[in-house]
Amino acid sequence: MANELQRTKPIGLSEAEEGYVEVIYSLIKEHGYARVADVAAALNVKPPSVTNMLQRLDKHKFVTYKRYRGVVLTRKGIQLAETLEKRHRALKNFLVMIGVNAERAEQDACEIEHKMTRETVEKLAKFVEFVNLAPQAPPFLEHFKHYEKTGERPKQCYRKNQKKESK
């Protein structure tokens, strides 16, 4: 069903377009402005490609772009950027939680975030929140680390009367 497969993209923005919105958002957050040259440098693309993309995003009302004046996000653009940022953080935190190193988690989160459905992302974000805000660190994470390292479950993993799995 179309609904089940519905992506988070509001008007079918491509991954690349979403990537631009993210970069513009973080440039503005960091420097207070975003110029074509900065966007080009951040994405490692040529300025004319940036100009093209900005015109497209302007047409869809995600940014306001005036030649030689740089680019700002519209409200709609900011909303999208905030959604992407939240999703990115949830994914990154999840990956770090299961032991992926922070740098790799950062890169992979950026790749995956454009592809997941809203439902999955929300579930993941809830899970991360649940684990991170637990009054006590959930033991299963420690157990998992042990399991990953040794291939064996710590004995606390087994319930009463349950036999250890034979290898």
Using the contact rule CB under 5 A, the part of the chain among 3-11, 105-113, 116-124, 133-141 near Fe ion is 105-113
DSSP states of the chain? -HHHH-BS-TT---HHHHHHHHHHHHHHHHHS---HHHHHHHHT--HHHHHHHHHHHHHTTSEEEETTTEEEE-HHHHHHHHHHHHHHHHHHHHHHHTT--HHHHHHHHHHHTTTSBHHHHHHHHHHHHHHHT-SS--HHHHHHHHHHHHSS--GGGSPTTPPPPP-
Residue 88 makes contact with Fe ion by CB under 5 A: yes
* Shortest distance, position 26 Cβ to Fe ion, whole Å: 9
* Shortest distance, position 54 Cβ to Fe ion, whole Å: 19
Q: Is the Cβ of residue 36 or residue 88 nearer to Fe ion in the bound state?
A: 88
Using the contact rule CB under 5 A, the part of the chain among 58-66, 87-95, 114-122, 134-142 near Fe ion is 87-95
Q: Tell me which of 100, 110, 131, 141 binds Fe ion, using CB under 5 A.
A: 110
- Would you state the structure tokens that stand for residue 104, as one six-digit string? 């790799």
Using the contact rule CB under 5 A, the part of the chain among 37-45, 70-78, 81-89, 128-136 near Fe ion is 81-89
* Shortest distance, position 33 Cβ to Fe ion, whole Å: 20
* Shortest distance, position 110 Cβ to Fe ion, whole Å: 4
Binding site for Fe ion (CB under 5 A): 88, 110
